[in-house]
């Protein structure tokens, strides 16, 4: 009998693990997930590395070497995280080759403090790409206004990008436009555009968390009936945007030259509200060409008791539009919510980055 994760994969959803640590790589546990859990990629962020490096497991020897060399905390983070990502890329090399580069991807993020600095983001993206030195790495760039210009420039340089922190449909359209512009520039510069891939990470659960809080403040019984509906509606409409934007003639021309569609990726798919099914943001977002990056807890929940439909997105666009329209009519501004979530998303990663700097600084000091 096919397990739910294998079923999800066969229904067209690529399963990526939203976690990485050196012990997971060195123990063989990461490689084992390819077979046992149908995992075909990995995403990381400053919060994940703050957790894994903070625990210290597997990092002591490299920290000691870096301390002896007089490395700063920022230099040490660069060396440590790029080594983990390069090693994880090697683990997924077979998947990368078997899927023509669509999967087998490992993502590493530019420093969150660069979120509003286009030039700084481009420079660091190139540095990370050169240091990891693996074709299957993806550089994560946030979908801020400054990030959009950076996405185009980094794609134009022939580097694959995971665009992160997307909350609104309008911003998602801008992300797709930035990707297409980058591919066109790469082609004009003589780059092999068949090697350029991208995913657009659309954040799911945080939308419900913020909108449900506001629905509670509205306080009516009608408002209560709309709880926990906005995130799925938003994510489903993002898939509609994906279908619309990649059906236009400009894209068709690029695709005929060998360009790859930027795939939508569902991120932040761990359920925050304990009253909701713990598989909600996975099983209710099933469609071809989709990626879902999951924390291990969510992945295990789907494996254990997930009921995976053939498709839970198509045929639900009108219902999704009605959900967002109804919530808006209650005085909850979609634009205000998504702008806030983008700002908070950057701020949360900056907090995690600072925690990472503090823990690495302490480890370097202790190793001297």
Active site residues: 140
Instruction: Round to whole Å and give the CA distance between 112 and 146.
Output: 12
Structure tokens at 21: 């640590």
Per DSSP, which regions of 68-186 are E strands? 105-109, 137-142, 161-166
At 220, phi and psi to the nearest 5? -80, 165
Q: How far is CA 263 from CA 14, 123, 322, in A?
A: 10, 24, 25
Record the tokens describing residue 260, joined without a space. Answer: 């790859």
Dihedral sign for Cα atoms in the order 159, 165, 166, 171? negative
Q: Beta partners for 290? A: 13
Read off the DSSP letter of residue 189: T
Structure letter (DSSP) for residue 111: P
| Three-state DSSP string of 264-297 | EEEECCCCCCCCCCCCHHHHCCCCCCEEEEECHH
First to last CA, the chain: 54
For β-strands 39-42 and 13-17, DSSP reports them as parallel
Compute, in degrees rounded to 10, the torsion defined by CA atoms 208, 214, 217, 220. Answer: -70
């Amino acid at each position: 009998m096919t397990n739910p994760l294998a079923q999800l994969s066969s229904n067209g959803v690529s399963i990526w693990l939203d976690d990485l640590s050196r012990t997971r790589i060195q123990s063989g546990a990461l490689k084992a997930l390819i077979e046992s859990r149908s995992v075909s990629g990995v995403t990381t962020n400053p919060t994940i590395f703050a957790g894994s490096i903070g625990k210290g497991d597997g990092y002591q020897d490299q920290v000691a070497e870096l301390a002896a060399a007089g490395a700063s905390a920022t230099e040490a983070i660069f060396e440590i995280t790029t080594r983990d990502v390069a090693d994880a890329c090697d683990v997924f090399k077979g998947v990368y080759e078997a899927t023509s580069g669509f999967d087998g991807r490992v993502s590493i993020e530019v420093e969150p403090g660069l979120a509003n600095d286009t030039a700084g983001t481009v420079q660091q993206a190139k540095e990370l790409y050169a240091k990891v030195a693996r074709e299957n790495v993806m550089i994560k760039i946030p979908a801020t206004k400054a990030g959009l210009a950076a996405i185009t420039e980094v794609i134009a340089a022939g580097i694959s990008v995971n665009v992160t922190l997307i909350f609104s449909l309008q911003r998602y359209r801008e992300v797709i436009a930035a990707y297409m512009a980058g591919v066109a520039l790469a082609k004009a510069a003589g780059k092999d555009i068949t090697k350029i891939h991208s995913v657009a990470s659309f954040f799911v659960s945080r939308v419900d968390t913020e909108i449900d809080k506001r629905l509670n403040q509205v306080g009516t019984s009608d408002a209560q009936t709309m709880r926990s509906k906005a995130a799925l509606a938003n994510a489903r409409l993002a898939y509609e945007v994906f279908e619309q934007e990649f059906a236009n003639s400009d894209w068709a021309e690029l695709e005929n030259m060998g360009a790859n569609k930027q795939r939508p990726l569902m991120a932040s798919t761990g359920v925050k509200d304990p009253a909701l099914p713990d598989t909600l943001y996975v099983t209710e977002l099933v469609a071809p060409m989709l990626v879902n990056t999951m924390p291990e807890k969510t992945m295990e929940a789907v494996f254990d008791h997930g009921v995976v439909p053939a498709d839970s997105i198509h045929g639900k666009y009108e219902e999704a539009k009605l959900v967002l329209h109804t919530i808006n009519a209650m005085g909850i501004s979609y634009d205000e919510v998504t702008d806030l979530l983008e700002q908070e998303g950057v701020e949360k990663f900056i907090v995690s980055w600072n925690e990472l700097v503090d823990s690495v600084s302490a480890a370097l000091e202790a190793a001297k």
